[in-house]
Amino acid sequence: MNISFAKPSLPKAAALVVGVAEGRALSATAARLDSRAGGVLTRAMAGDQFTGKSGQFLPILAPHDLKVDRIVLAGLGKLEKFDSAAAEKLGGAIVGHLAASRTAQASIAVDAHKESPITAAESAARLAYGASLRSYRFGKYRTKKRDRDRPPPRRLTVMVADPAKARAAYRPLSGIAAGVFLTRDLVSEPANVLFPVALAARARQLTDDGVKVQVMGEARMEKLGMGSLLGVGRGSRHESQLVVMQWNGAPKAKTRTPIAFIGKGVTFDTGGISIKASAGMEDMKWDMGGSGVVIGLMRALARRKAKVNAVGVIGLVENMPSGSAQRPGDIVTTMSGQTIEVLNTDAEGRLVLADALWYTQSRFKPRFMVDLATLTGAIIVALGTERAGLFSNDETLRDQLMAAGDAVGEKLWPMPSDAAYGKEIDCDIADMKNIGSGRGAGSVTAAKFLERFVNKVPWAHLDIAGVTWSKKGSALVPKGGTAFGVRLLDRLVANSYEVK
């Protein structure tokens, strides 16, 4: 979808969207249209349940003397609550409404409201950002159009008094959207296309954005002693990979110590020898969701020229059963020197992250580490699909992540991390085992496992198993890959870690 900004006018378009505040209070543009059209907007509202509440729309056939086919009244809600988040949601909702009516071209009039906490230019930029996020589609494997398809508009013009200022405010937001789209693309790809080497190649394309990318194969990882990560991929014909991405956006900062993000990248997870049930196994193409978020985040930081030094590390494997696959009962030695008895080969993500976390803290000595992983089904049982689970050894980092998630609508929930849970993974014949003693607290014991490879660096673990894929759309997220975590972590960086 092409988005542009322009000064207010009466455009020639299929639809013109104008705002109405709660209580049927017409915006300035809507009021002028109503006057010109002999009160048609006021009469239409009087005969309908539309009151201007957030999320409401009322399409009206435009009078014949106007250049547009129809006028769409969009509810702004209470103006004192019309902030950046509300503007983004409105933009997404507008695209959803226009797509439902198969509108190919539309204009949106954005007016100043003294009651609103944001300016008209910021409102226009945020509205465009929300519209962009909602417009995403993954259709590269479609060969035919379907009657039920509802594509977004091809062109959207946002009209505002100061389009230059709106355009400038939108520019970094479009960079974040590019990162979100990249993550959604990666999560949506089938596993026969996006195996570890192929995903590493996609990450290498970030060099075009100014990101330094290093890819390690199995021989290099063997020398580093990454027996935990390598063990997961033993059953696959596809070679495992470790990808390191560096964005140095603050080379003159007082401290160049980077912040670090680590992602689980299991490009397909059969469960290995501890094989999963066949029902729903096709969803395991997105078990690389954590790595996809880290790649998308690095693009977002680079595209918006974030003034921060950041590192992204992703471990890429395919978990397959074969004659060479890891077996239940095998013992592996991690890069840290700690040993693990692998009792369940389907608890593989933590094995990948164990070496990736240790490598990251050993090489970069980061200010903090945040890892993301579609790690446990237990977190879905606990939190459903509304929030991701948050585990952390650092109260400040935990609070910063919670605030960032609330701000962008990618919400987290703090989970317990008591020392007693760690005893569940103690092992008689190795330093630890990769699953707990029973069925309870599976997400917590997985987090306690990861904590053993953090070495007291401030750290947070986000279990995103329930929020990586959506079976229904929302204001900013269409069905499919959500890219949950890209906007959250970008906001964390912007709020707390960029050089001012």
The structure tokens 């990101």 sit at 211
The structure tokens 């209470």 sit at 78
With 90 as the cut, is the pLDDT of residue 146 above it? no
**CATH architecture label of 2-160:** 3-Layer(aba) Sandwich (3.40)
User: Among all residues, which ones are annotated catalytic?
Assistant: 276, 350
The structure tokens 């002028």 sit at 32
The CA distance from 6 to 366, in Å, is 44
Sign of CA dihedral 107, 111, 117, 119: positive
Write a three-state SS string for the chain: CEEEEECCCCCCCCEEEEEEECCCEECHHHHHHHHHCCCHHHHHHHCCCCCCCCCCEEEEECCCCCCCCEEEEEEEECHHHCCHHHHHHHHHHHHHHHHHCCCCEEEEECCCCCCCCCCHHHHHHHHHHHHHHHCCCCCCCCCCCCCCCCCCCCEEEEECCCHHHHHHHHHHHHHHHHHHHHHHHHHHCCCCCCCHHHHHHHHHHHHHHCCEEEEECHHHHHHHCCHHHHHHHHHCCCCCEEEEEEEECCCCCCCCCCEEEEEEEEEEECCCCCCCCCCCHHHHHHCCHHHHHHHHHHHHHHHCCCCCEEEEEEEEEEECCCCCCCCCCEEEECCCCCEEEECCCCCCHHHHHHHHHHHHHHHHCCCCEEEEECCCCHHHHHHCCCCEEEEECCHHHHHHHHHHHHHHCCCEEECCCCHHHHHHHCCCCCCEECCCCCCCCHHHHHHHHHHCCCCCCCEEEEECCCCCEECCCCCCCCCEECCCCHHHHHHHHHHHCCCC
- The pLDDT-based confidence of 147 (bands split at 50, 70, 90) is low
With 90 as the cut, is the pLDDT of residue 236 above it? yes
Q: What are the sequence ranges of the domains in the chain?
A: 2-160, 176-496
Among residues 197, 346, 322, 195, which one has the least CA distance to residue 270? 346
Q: Which of 15-19, 135-139, 145-149, 151-155 has the lowest mean pLDDT?
A: 145-149
User: pLDDT digit string (tens) for 353-378?
Assistant: 999 999 999 999 999 999 999 999 99
User: pLDDT digit string (tens) for 283-327?
Assistant: 999 999 999 999 999 999 999 999 999 999 999 999 999 999 999
With 80 as the cut, is the pLDDT of residue 449 above it? yes
Share of the chain above pLDDT 70, in %: 100
User: pLDDT digit string (tens) for 391-402?
Assistant: 999 999 999 999
Query: Cβ(435)–Cβ(343) under 8 Å?
Result: yes
Among residues 270, 499, 488, which one has the least CA distance to residue 388? 488
Sign of CA dihedral 422, 424, 428, 434: negative
The chain-wide mean pLDDT, for the chain, equals: 96
Mean pLDDT of all residues in 423-452: 96
The CA distance from 318 to 264, in Å, is 11
Query: Cβ(316)–Cβ(243) under 8 Å?
Result: yes
Q: Which pLDDT score is estimated for 254?
A: 82
Does domain 176-496 correspond to CATH entry 3.30.2020.30?
no
Mean pLDDT of all residues in 41-57: 94
Q: How far is CA 338 from the centre of its chain?
A: 33
User: pLDDT digit string (tens) for 401-426?
Assistant: 999 999 999 999 999 999 999 999 99
pTM of the model: 0.97
CB neighbours of residue 137 within 10 Å: 18
Among residues 373, 347, 354, which one has the least CA distance to residue 442? 347
With 90 as the cut, is the pLDDT of residue 150 above it? no
Q: Which pLDDT score is estimated for 235?
A: 98
